[in-house]
Structure 1
Amino acid sequence: MLFTSTRNNELSVTFSQAVRDCIPDDGGVFVPSSIEDMRRWIYYIDETTPFSSIAGSLTSALMHEEFSPIICETIATAAFPVEPVVKQLDGSLFMTEMYHGFLGCHRDYGVSYLCNYLEYTLELKGGKAVFVDFTHGGLGALMSRILKGKKNIKSVLVYKKGTVRGLDEESLAWNGGNIYPVEMEGTEAEIKAAISKVFADRNFVKEHGLTVANTTNVCRLLGQIFFFPYSFAQIKNKFNGELYYAMGAGNYGSLMAGLYSWRFALPVNGFYVPSTPALARSATGAPVVLDSLVDLKARGEANPAVPANLERLESFFGKNELMMRNFIYPVDISEAQRDAAAKELYIKYGIFADKDTASAYAAAKENSGEVYDEDGAFILTAYNHPSLSSDYCRHVIGEAPEMPENIKASLVPFQLNRPLVSGANELRKIIENFSL
């Protein structure tokens, strides 16, 4: 499978190069230039097919020019020790719980896939990689677990002051681990700008093997594709009509993963997402990407610290507005509608819902008539364990779910007791010394 750039369709690179380089030199983001037709395979899988097998088969489809099927299966098996959970709530409503990973987030699966893919790639082809990412704390707690035992990957994690959590002493660089956490002065926007400044030096990036673990990295994004054929396999023998996904907006990584799954020939008829200022609907109901008002050539370079999935969405549909209109359905959802949906999920199905899950259900409810009248069904996506939104659940429902011990451990504050980093130059020095 080859990849090109959202800003230069003449560019053609391998999967491994797209993962390592992370940001093309033209300032866009990597997207697949072609996708295998997996129709026969998709109709072959069913509820007995393990998640890791689905991931291994798709990995082989992505990388068959680079790695053997055995290596692809090995990567997937190492990345996914646990499976998502797909539930049938009623005859035409299903839910995919994407949070049964390491620390209760759908991110766990994508990051684990990315890290295991990189480790095997670097082991076979040589080289080292260093992640440089901003984190509110969750990514750091995850990295401190996933990178244990990895020989070819390190991670520099940048936090706002006082937000470090979930780390353990063994994972820290000064104790022989793979993680170098730093606290930086400034706002979140200023910190992300400092990271972007580091990545702006292309020679420095290549010299030290820098990349990111967010969905700017196409491997992290494609690692989220596996949820979609897995959920289809789990319900294909329970429902035969048209399928629609309803999902929270997030950074639109899951929406792009779903669209790539459709390109693999997954039978899905559309995606409902809550409207946001970035992706809304016009007076005629057509989806509108606000960024599209500015020509790609007039935009600044993609910021590696800020996922650019809407630029991928633009690239996916190109100039075909009619196709986008008939596949992406932004839905205006008020807070009152969202909260009412959260209550209904709990009362009818015993489901605790965070804001994203409640918004997804509200979007489905707003359009249930037209979907159900056509013998269709909705698959809701639940990104994160509801206990991470206990305050919201308690406020809206009156009680909150119990938090598993592994998630509790990821939230424990951690004191670095090290000097604050003031900006990009100091961050560069840390990377230089740590990447040796």
Structure 2
Amino acid sequence: MRFYSTKNRSQTFSLKEAILQGLAPDGGLFMPEAIPRLADQVINNLPEMTFQEIALQMARPFLQQDFTETEIERLITQAFDFGVPLVPLTGELFVLELFHGPTLAFKDFGARFMARLVELITQKENKELTILVATSGDTGSAVAHAFYNKNNVRVILLYPSGMVSEIQEKQLTILGANVTALEIEGTFDDCQRLVKQAFSDKDLRRKRNLTSANSINIARLLPQAFYYAHAVGRLPFKDRPVAISVPSGNLGNLTGGLIARRMGVPIHQFVAGMNANDVFLQYLTSGRFTPRIVRPTISNAMDVGNPSNFFRILDFFEHDHQRIKSAIYGASFNDARTRLAIKQAFEKYAYIFDPHGAVGLLAMEKFVQDCKAENWQKIVLETAHPAKFKDVVEESCGQEVQNPPRLAETLQKEKKAILLDKDYSIFKEWLLS
């Protein structure tokens, strides 16, 4: 499998090159030259397959030119050693719980998959790698834990000061060893800008082998397609259309769903749920993409004013606004509405959503109302454990949220972070020091 840049389809790269470079040399994002379709037999057998079996079928076409079958099978087994339950709220409405990995967030899927790929590559090529990660919360902790103590890898996490939850910050900052947390005096977009500037800095790249573990890295993105196939395979009715609501910030999770559908997974409609940072909704409505300054919200992992994966979605649909608008329904909600949704969902379903899942639920409800989709099968992605947003959730629904043991242990540990200005020259000097 070869990969091209969203800015230039004429030059292609191997998977190893795409992973290790993170961004293409021209600043574009890597995309697979072709997205293979799963065999009809695989699609028909999804209900009988385990998550690991589905992941193997979907990963193999992208990896088999660079890795052996044994390496691929071991990678899948080691990366995905936790459950992915589809929880029914009603006979037609379901929640896909993506928070059963080590850091209790969906980012564990991509981070653990990428960590094992990078480990294979660095072992074979005996090279040291510096991984830069901009995070608005869960990405950083997932990457930190996935790469912790991996040989030949140094991880630098950039997160916006005062704009992640206490638990998220602790998960980012407690490890040490080969993981360093930089607390940036700015927003997530400032963190993301610093990472992108580093990749485009030829002087820096001559001195450091840099890559990224954000969803801009194709290795983080691909495994996010796997759980869409797993979820659809567990729905009760095979003859009804399927809508999936995705809490959307940097748009990587949504792009993973689009890949799954292109591979043949029968998903009829995507629903993008957004908070006040709804530049993608403005694009869906007007056809114009206008990045803007981030507004902090209680669903902070979606606080993105310039989503990187937007350009993958553009490429996916050949820059055709009408096709994108047809495939993706969008809606946005403020914090007050999100808090109310957490309360009402607990009262109606006895289910506790985190703020991101609550936005996804609201978007699905609006889609059903606007598009008369009551009889559709509907899946809402729950991307993080509600305990990661304990104060907001408990205040909203009046229900105590128990901390899983690993979160309780995390809160007792000491924060280790370096406070840094958002100026790129200061960041570069620190990297080279």
> Which interval holds the TM-score relative to the shorter structure?
0.7 to 0.9
Percent identity of equivalent pairs = 22
* Structure 1 residue aligned with 2:171: 166
Select between 393-402 and 128-137 the one with higher mean Cα deviation. 128-137
Q: Deviations over 1:272-324 (max 9, x none)?
A: 12355312268xxx64453279xxxxxxxxxxx97511111111112433322
Q: Find the aligned partners of 1:277 and 1:59 in 2 and give their Cα distance.
A: 31
Which one-letter code corresponds to 1:166 in the other structure?
Q
Shift of 1:232: 1.4
Aligned to 1:103, the other structure's residue is in SS state coil
Q: Find the aligned partners of 1:343 and 1:419 in 2 and give their Cα distance.
A: 36
Q: Check the 8 A contact 2:80/2:109 in 1, yes or no.
A: yes
Q: Check the 8 A contact 2:98/2:381 in 1, yes or no.
A: yes
1:76 equivalent to 2:81? Answer: no
* Structure 1 residue aligned with 2:280: 279
Shift of 1:225: 1.2
Which one-letter code corresponds to 2:246 in the other structure?
M
Which one-letter code corresponds to 2:256 in the other structure?
A
Q: Find the aligned partners of 1:227 and 1:319 in 2 and give their Cα distance.
A: 26
Q: Find the aligned partners of 2:418 and 2:68 in 1 and give their Cα distance.
A: 45
Q: Check the 8 A contact 1:5/1:31 in 2, yes or no.
A: yes
Q: Find the aligned partners of 1:413 and 1:289 in 2 and give their Cα distance.
A: 47
Q: Check the 8 A contact 1:97/1:383 in 2, yes or no.
A: yes
Which one-letter code corresponds to 1:12 in the other structure?
T
Change in CA separation of 1:167 and 1:134 when aligned onto 2, cut-off 3 Å: closer
Q: Check the 8 A contact 1:21/1:206 in 2, yes or no.
A: no
1:86 equivalent to 2:91? Answer: no
TM-score normalised to structure 2 length: 0.84
Shift of 1:227: 1.3
Shift of 1:341: 3.2
Change in CA separation of 1:256 and 1:430 when aligned onto 2, cut-off 3 Å: same
Change in CA separation of 1:413 and 1:365 when aligned onto 2, cut-off 3 Å: same
Q: Find the aligned partners of 1:306 and 1:218 in 2 and give their Cα distance.
A: 18
TM-score normalised to structure 1 length: 0.83
Q: Find the aligned partners of 2:418 and 2:90 in 1 and give their Cα distance.
A: 53
* Structure 1 residue aligned with 2:261: 262
Q: Check the 8 A contact 1:103/1:410 in 2, yes or no.
A: no
Shift of 1:40: 2.1
Q: Check the 8 A contact 1:262/1:268 in 2, yes or no.
A: yes
1:12 equivalent to 2:5? Answer: no
Q: Find the aligned partners of 2:246 and 2:360 in 1 and give their Cα distance.
A: 5
Change in CA separation of 1:413 and 1:326 when aligned onto 2, cut-off 3 Å: same
Q: Find the aligned partners of 1:335 and 1:18 in 2 and give their Cα distance.
A: 38
Q: Check the 8 A contact 2:287/2:321 in 1, yes or no.
A: no
Q: Output aligned runs, 1:241-390, within 5 Å.
A: 241-274=240-273, 277-280=278-281, 287-288=285-286, 290-291=288-289, 308-333=308-333, 337-369=337-369, 375-390=375-390
Change in CA separation of 1:146 and 1:239 when aligned onto 2, cut-off 3 Å: same
Q: Output aligned runs, 1:31-430, within 5 Å.
A: 31-135=31-135, 138-159=138-159, 165-166=170-171, 171-172=175-176, 177-183=177-183, 190=190, 192-202=192-202, 204-205=204-205, 207-235=207-235, 237-274=236-273, 277-280=278-281, 287-288=285-286, 290-291=288-289, 308-333=308-333, 337-369=337-369, 375-412=375-412, 414-416=414-416, 424-425=424-425, 427-428=427-428
* Structure 2 residue aligned with 1:299: none
Q: Check the 8 A contact 1:137/1:165 in 2, yes or no.
A: no
Which one-letter code corresponds to 1:245 in the other structure?
I
Which one-letter code corresponds to 1:77 in the other structure?
T
Select between 313-322 and 151-160 the one with higher mean Cα deviation. 151-160
Change in CA separation of 1:316 and 1:143 when aligned onto 2, cut-off 3 Å: closer
Q: Check the 8 A contact 1:166/1:409 in 2, yes or no.
A: no
Change in CA separation of 1:242 and 1:26 when aligned onto 2, cut-off 3 Å: same
Q: Deviations over 1:204-224 (max 9, x none)?
A: 325522111111112111121
* Structure 2 residue aligned with 1:22: 22
Q: Find the aligned partners of 1:246 and 1:198 in 2 and give their Cα distance.
A: 34
Q: Deviations over 1:173-227 (max 9, x none)?
A: xxxx322344556666555544443322235325522111111112111121111
Which one-letter code corresponds to 1:273 in the other structure?
A
Q: Find the aligned partners of 2:70 and 2:421 in 1 and give their Cα distance.
A: 44
Shift of 1:424: 4.3
Q: Check the 8 A contact 2:134/2:157 in 1, yes or no.
A: yes
Q: Find the aligned partners of 1:192 and 1:238 in 2 and give their Cα distance.
A: 41
Q: Find the aligned partners of 1:15 and 1:425 in 2 and give their Cα distance.
A: 31
Change in CA separation of 1:189 and 1:413 when aligned onto 2, cut-off 3 Å: farther
Change in CA separation of 1:140 and 1:317 when aligned onto 2, cut-off 3 Å: closer
Aligned to 1:290, the other structure's residue is in SS state coil
* Structure 1 residue aligned with 2:298: none
Aligned to 1:38, the other structure's residue is in SS state coil
Q: Find the aligned partners of 2:392 and 2:183 in 1 and give their Cα distance.
A: 28
Shift of 1:393: 2.0
Q: Find the aligned partners of 1:372 and 1:188 in 2 and give their Cα distance.
A: 37
Shift of 1:93: 0.9
- RMSD value, Cα: 3.1
Q: Check the 8 A contact 2:161/2:187 in 1, yes or no.
A: no
Aligned to 1:34, the other structure's residue is in SS state coil
Shift of 1:385: 0.6
Which one-letter code corresponds to 1:225 in the other structure?
A
Shift of 1:112: 1.0
Aligned to 1:378, the other structure's residue is in SS state strand
Which one-letter code corresponds to 2:313 in the other structure?
L
Aligned to 1:100, the other structure's residue is in SS state coil
Shift of 1:168: 8.1
Q: Check the 8 A contact 1:37/1:265 in 2, yes or no.
A: yes
Shift of 1:380: 0.7
Unpaired stretches in structure 1, ≥5 consecutive residues: 294-304
Change in CA separation of 1:373 and 1:227 when aligned onto 2, cut-off 3 Å: closer
Change in CA separation of 1:400 and 1:252 when aligned onto 2, cut-off 3 Å: farther
Shift of 1:389: 2.0
Which one-letter code corresponds to 2:38 in the other structure?
M
Q: Check the 8 A contact 2:242/2:377 in 1, yes or no.
A: yes
Q: Find the aligned partners of 2:307 and 2:124 in 1 and give their Cα distance.
A: 29
Q: Check the 8 A contact 2:75/2:117 in 1, yes or no.
A: yes
Aligned to 2:89, the other structure's residue is in SS state strand
